[in-house]
């Protein structure tokens, strides 16, 4: 046990510095200083390039690295031929069309300097849903993940450099925490365990993605099971809010210019109407665990019914059975689709 600088310096700028540092080691000028770090740097560069050029086998001799060039996190010129740009993320995600902008900048630079097509990398050491990562790939970026880092580091276990070892240990620590949902009782789950659980089920059932949802109650990691089902003009959907499974509806008639008091009245009446008929439908199906929530909100997105943790996920002292949970979720999805179809048919 020893202090780990990357448990203290958790900001993306600190990770930018490590990535830049490791890329710099690939340059031949550092070979005599530390052969193992030099070879690891070369392997890192080669792995990144192979994301764009799968048959890449050239020797890497020259690597020139910059930070925040054109506001891009890491900019690496390799062998005076290739450009690697890296958008580095820990727990945040892309925003404001930054990836499209950086790719355009890199492509223009490569054209002006007669270089190969740029290698665009989205480097993520935290956890992110596959729905987001798929969109990032569609923007022309390759994903380099925490697991990719771990695989790289495992090839160089002989390296004892303190910076290298601290970063390697931090990646392994996050990976271990993410996978703890497999062995920890459900009531012991925290931030990483919920993410690991969501990562496990997202590959087994249709979904719209998951991520942190901020609210006045302190926020939660939410998993959006479905979107796009409408009862007339109202979206109705299922969202996992950690231990709660929630049937929700968006009731705000935004196209109607009404005073806020009138809007609240419409939201309340619509919420209560859908709650009543959904719970009645659940009782007819024998799903008595679908019930009214203890508290009712009055906003744009409101919970109309819930299923408690024990009925869909497991008891506090249980170790989660992922396959059983997926079976439960598919049952509630089928129920919601049936409910929506019957409602719209009657209307």
What global pTM score does this model have?
0.91
Long-range contacts of 217-221 (CB under 8 A, 24+ apart): 221/191, 221/194, 221/195
336-347 residue pLDDT tens: 999 999 999 887
Q: How far apart are CA 293 and CA 304, in angstroms?
A: 7
Q: How far apart are CA 204 and CA 325, in angstroms?
A: 10
Q: How far apart are CA 33 and CA 23, in angstroms?
A: 15
Q: Which of the two residues, 78 and 1, has the higher pLDDT score?
A: 78
Residue 202: how many CB atoms within 10 A of its CB? 17
pLDDT confidence of 232, banded at 50, 70, 90?
A: confident
CA torsion angle for 52, 58, 61, 66 (degrees, to 10)? 0
| The Cα angle at residue 60 between residues 59 and 65, in degrees rounded to 5 | 170
Average pLDDT over residues 315-329: 97
What pLDDT does residue 255 have?
Answer: 52
What pLDDT does residue 253 have?
Answer: 57
Q: Quickly list DSSP for 239-281.
A: EEETTEEEEEEE---TTS---HHHHHHHHHHHHHHHHHHHHHH
> Could you give the C-alpha distances from 265 to 45, 64, 247, 253, 305, in angstroms and in order?
59, 62, 20, 11, 19
On the question of pLDDT at 176 being above 90, the answer is yes
pLDDT confidence of 252, banded at 50, 70, 90?
A: low
On the question of pLDDT at 254 being above 60, the answer is no
**68: Cβ contacts below 8 Å, ≥ 6 apart:** none
On the question of pLDDT at 122 being above 70, the answer is yes
Q: How far apart are CA 128 and CA 225, in angstroms?
A: 16
What pLDDT does residue 168 have?
Answer: 98
On the question of pLDDT at 256 being above 70, the answer is no
Surface-to-core class of residue 51, CB atoms within 10 Å of its CB (0-12 exposed, 13-18 middle, 19+ buried): middle
> Could you give the C-alpha distances from 332 to 49, 56, 270, 286, in angstroms and in order?
44, 48, 22, 12
> How does DSSP classify residue 75?
E
| The Cα angle at residue 25 between residues 24 and 28, in degrees rounded to 5 | 100
Q: Please, what is the end-to-end C-alpha distance for the chain in angstroms? A: 65
Q: How many percent of the chain have pLDDT more than 70?
A: 98
265-318 residue pLDDT tens: 888 888 899 999 999 999 999 999 999 998 877 777 899 999 999 999 999 999
Q: How far apart are CA 69 and CA 321, in angstroms?
A: 47
Q: Which of the two residues, 11 and 172, has the higher pLDDT score?
A: 172
Q: Report helix angle 162-178 to 191-202, nearest 10.
A: 70
C-beta of residue 220 within 8 angstroms of C-beta of residue 205: no
pLDDT confidence of 264, banded at 50, 70, 90?
A: confident
CA torsion angle for 104, 28, 46, 90 (degrees, to 10)? -60
């Amino acid at each position: 046990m020893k202090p780990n600088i990357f448990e203290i310096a958790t900001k993306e700028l600190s990770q930018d510095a490590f990535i830049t540092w490791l890329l710099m080691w690939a340059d031949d000028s550092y070979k005599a200083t530390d052969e193992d770090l030099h070879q690891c740097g070369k392997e890192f560069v080669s792995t990144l390039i192979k994301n764009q050029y799968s048959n890449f086998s050239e020797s890497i001799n020259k690597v020139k690295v910059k930070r925040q060039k054109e506001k891009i996190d890491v900019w690496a010129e390799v062998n005076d031929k290739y450009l690697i740009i890296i958008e580095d993320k820990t727990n945040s995600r892309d925003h404001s069309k930054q990836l499209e902008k950086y790719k355009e900048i890199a492509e223009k630079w490569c054209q002006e300097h007669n270089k190969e097509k740029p290698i665009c990398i989205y480097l993520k050491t935290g956890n992110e849903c596959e729905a987001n990562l798929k969109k990032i790939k569609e923007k022309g970026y390759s994903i380099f993940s925490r697991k990719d880092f771990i695989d790289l580091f495992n090839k160089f276990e002989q390296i004892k450099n303190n910076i290298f070892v601290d970063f390697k240990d931090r990646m392994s620590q996050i990976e271990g925490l993410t996978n703890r949902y497999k062995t920890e009782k459900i009531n012991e789950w925290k931030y990483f365990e919920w993410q690991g659980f969501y990562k496990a089920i997202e590959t087994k059932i249709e979904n719209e993605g998951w991520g942190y949802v901020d609210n006045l109650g302190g926020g939660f990691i939410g998993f959006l099971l479905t979107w796009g089902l409408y009862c007339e003009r109202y979206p109705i959907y299922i969202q996992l809010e950690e231990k709660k499974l929630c049937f929700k509806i968006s009731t705000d008639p935004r196209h109607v210019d009404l005073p806020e008091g009138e809007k609240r009245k419409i939201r309340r009446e619509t919420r209560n109407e859908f709650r009543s008929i959904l719970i009645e439908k659940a009782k007819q199906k024998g799903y008595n665990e679908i019930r009214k929530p203890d508290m009712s909100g009055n906003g744009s997105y409101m919970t109309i019914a819930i299923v408690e943790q024990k009925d869909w996920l497991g008891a506090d002292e249980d170790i989660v059975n992922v396959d059983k949970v997926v079976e439960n979720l598919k049952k509630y999805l089928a129920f919601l689709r049936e409910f929506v179809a019957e409602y719209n048919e009657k209307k």
